[in-house]
Amino acid sequence: MTLNPPLNSNPLLDFTGLPRYSSIRTEHIDPAVDTLLAENRALVATLSDPATPVSWSAVVKPLEDANERLGRAWGAVGHLHGVLDSPELRAAYEANQPKIVQYYTELGQNLSLFGKYKALKASMEFDALEPAQRKIIENELRDFRLSGAELPETEKKRFADLQEELAGVCTRFSNNVLDATNAFTLLIQDAGELSGVPADVVEAAGEAAQKDGAQGWKLTLKAPCYIPVMQYADNRTLREKLYRAYVTRASEFDTAARDNAPLILRILKLRRESARLLDYANYAEVSLATKMAQGPAQVLEFLGDLARKALPYARRDYAELESFARDELRLENLHSWDLAWASEKLRAKRYAFSDQEIKQYFPEAKVLEGMFRVVERLYGISVVPDQAESWDAAVRFFRVVDAKGALIGQFYLDTYARETKRGGAWMDEAITRRRTETGVQAPVAYLICNFSPPVGARPALLTHDEVLTLFHEFGHGLHHLLTRVDYLGVSGIRGVEWDAVELPSQFMENFCWEWEVLKHMTAHVDDGAPLPRALFDKMLAAKNFQAGMQTVRQLEYALFDMRLHCGLDPDGAKSVQQLIEEVRNEVAVAFPPDYNRFANSFSHIFAGAGYAAGYYSYKWAEVLSADAYSMFEETREDRSDKADRKAPDQATVLDAATGARFLSEILAVGGSRPAIESFKAFRGREPSVDALLRHNGMIAS
């Protein structure tokens, strides 16, 4: 870590403001964690004492305060582990993670505290509390049970050991994927081998080679390089080489030390044993205890129903691609490393544009300006550049203010890929809103992406898919930042059912397909000209290109995840690889080669518990988000029918009144009430799958 020298106090123990990232060093981690754990354990002992009265102010609030301090300090460490990894930081993280897991397991199994929460729920005070406070207590009671509070002492110890080992194994899984991704490089010395690859990608590869003191072009498995090479490289041998390296990361085809296959089996065994200790049939039931879905059977029925609706479209998509590849590209056999390339060729022919042509109209600064304009119109807020200590020179910082300029929240924006950063895109919380004795604590978020950085004098350019990703993560950020809940446990995204947490993020993606939005967020990198309407119309016509194939691919991942956690015996005859092949035989239309080891880098479900037996949440929440967005579409259509010719802009999808309703009923309430209640309060009815099918071109508009 390149983090600065001497300071008078431990920055991880400073909670007076924003995290002091330029001051944090690895040697601060051990003492900060040990200090906070000691303080918290002393407090828990006091709260557990029978002499401590049962009340919100005597029990819940002090514990919430203490855990918030620990969460902020450890959250800063975990954040740096994700965006600025180093051997020293990784060692410190792995040394302290078991301490954190042990503390929270002890806390969740504390029968005295559990008894006090039960007594508070049964008291007269409970009825007098605010709804958000009551929801926190109900959630805590549920979580005590899920933490093994009611287990016999011997089983409590076993449960605690399982949780500690599970956290460590999941971290090793994640580290192996990152290390395997970084380990592969391919130096190209003949420019002809890069035929078809976009110029900016070639230039970036050349710069990467120069940094290594080499001549030629350095290719990697990081998304800004891997994706465009697979999509545009005419060199089939090159595509196959990169594809094989990518899909065998952290497998038996990699180094033995990085093979995640044994870790997957261990994770499954640990999760299964934990579930059985809690008297659940399988881990999927444990996962769904905190989600909207009522059980594995309901999830499997939901996914199966979507598969039946999507498969005819997916089969049509694939047949068209096979025919085009054979007739136009002279590919008798369409392999996995051909799919993205052939699809791009088909799309370019059918719709007369390419992703690279579109990309020239999306310089990052203009995209940000347009994205901020959307939320300003919808919610009456402003996003203003600000300054803060950060972990990398490319990180930017913003504040969100209301119409009067009052602070609502702040966020860090870290958009570029680098070797010390794990792949993908995510939002996380740095500080969560709550009301304290001195006023409201403003929330702070991290928005993290892995886009290509600027090359030479040219700014960073985003593909339209990357624009969608940015809007998606900003939607998560708004859920965290625009909450109006004053109590930590259900503020922002906290307490929101995991299968509903994607609603605000997927909702934001819809605006990336609106002309009234895109015309204000595009400027050609060479001459500043906005995206031509004719080109946008082609994009819109191509919006659902291969939507069937994309849908069944997501269903494949979701079905694999759910069956893995509710039906596969990790000690049985059927292997993880056999299970995913079984799922593919049911819902896939494109089949990868035998050496594909997708599961070994499926970090969503194996690098942590968030999406384990929960990957279906993307599709579940997409139903909610599409239906919620359809209300904005209906408002526009209604206004269009009634619009005065002198005020045509009244017919807009950026309707402030509907935006205010979405803010107050979805974003602002956080986890203070069940997500289905929030949805119905906004939409006025139960969710319907029709909007999702319509947006994906699977039913008529």
pLDDT in tens, 51-81: 999 999 999 999 999 999 999 999 999 999 9
115 and 65 share a domain?
A: yes
125 and 74 share a domain?
A: yes
Instruction: Please pick, among 344, 473, 556, 665, the residue that the annotation labels catalytic.
Output: 473
**The pLDDT of residue 5:** 37
Instruction: Name the nearest CA neighbour of 285 among 613, 580, 619, 620.
Output: 613
Instruction: Report yes or no on 475 lying in a domain.
Output: no
266 and 234 share a domain?
A: no
Q: Which domain holds residue 200?
A: 184-249
190 and 291 share a domain?
A: no
Q: Is 473 a catalytic residue?
A: yes
328 and 278 share a domain?
A: yes
pLDDT (mean) for 616-625? 95
The model's confidence at residue 640, banded by pLDDT at 50, 70 and 90, is confident
Whether the per-residue pLDDT at 642 is higher than 70: the answer is no
The model's confidence at residue 485, banded by pLDDT at 50, 70 and 90, is very high
Instruction: Report yes or no on 428 lying in a domain.
Output: no
Instruction: Report yes or no on 302 lying in a domain.
Output: yes
Total domains, the chain: 3
**The pLDDT of residue 4:** 41
Instruction: Report yes or no on 285 lying in a domain.
Output: yes
Whether the per-residue pLDDT at 84 is higher than 50: the answer is yes
Instruction: Report yes or no on 456 lying in a domain.
Output: no
83 and 205 share a domain?
A: no
Q: Which residues contact 273 (CB under 8 A, 6 or more apart)?
A: 158, 162
Instruction: Report yes or no on 72 lying in a domain.
Output: yes
pTM as predicted: 0.91
End-of-domain residue from the set 233, 249, 265: 249
End-of-domain residue from the set 101, 132, 150: 150
**The pLDDT of residue 7:** 42
End-of-domain residue from the set 600, 615, 630: 615
Render the burial of 545-579: b for 16+ CB within 10 Å, e for the rest: bbbbbbbbbbbbbbbbbbbbbbebebeeeeebbeb
200 and 322 share a domain?
A: no
Render the burial of 332-367: b for 16+ CB within 10 Å, e for the rest: eebbbbbbbbbbbbbbeeebebebbebbbbbbbebb
Percent of the chain with pLDDT over 90: 93
Select the more confidently predicted residue: 647 or 322. Answer: 322
pLDDT (mean) for 206-229? 96
18 and 145 share a domain?
A: yes
Identify the CATH number of the domain in which residue 296 sits: 1.10.1370.10
Instruction: Report yes or no on 550 lying in a domain.
Output: yes
312 and 335 share a domain?
A: yes
84 and 197 share a domain?
A: no
Beta-strand relationship, 434-436 and 396-401: unpaired
Across-strand partners of 452? none
234 and 287 share a domain?
A: no
The model's confidence at residue 643, banded by pLDDT at 50, 70 and 90, is low
The model's confidence at residue 610, banded by pLDDT at 50, 70 and 90, is confident
**The pLDDT of residue 3:** 45
Identify the CATH number of the domain in which residue 109 sits: 1.20.1050.40
243 and 288 share a domain?
A: no
pLDDT (mean) for 463-492? 98
Instruction: Report yes or no on 420 lying in a domain.
Output: no
